Structure 1
Amino acid sequence: MNLPAGLAVDRTTGVIGGTPTTWGFRTATVTVTDAGGKRASVSFTLNVYF
């Protein structure tokens, strides 16, 4: 994912966390795959303001 500096995704929980060091807008797409190989995706915009 293209997150603002200072933010990261926890690969175990999927939680976006951290302390952003820059402001801005980022568009991200999250894709998940289940055990049967089925995939689903969603796109969203993350807005960071100070």
Structure 2
Amino acid sequence: GRPTFSQVVLEVMRQLEGAYALIFKSPHYPNELVACKRGSPLLLGLK
């Protein structure tokens, strides 16, 4: 079946190196945001 957005982001995270803080949005998952971090702080504000 189709992977969840979180599963897709986890696969991307496995390929990244170093410190990061990222937020992902995709037209394929229009009502979802996925945030992830490694080593860096992450702050997200939504209104």
Normalised TM-score (structure 2): 0.30
Over alpha carbons, which structure has the higher Rg?
1
Normalised TM-score (structure 1): 0.29
Give the number of the structure whose residues are more often strand, by fraction: 1
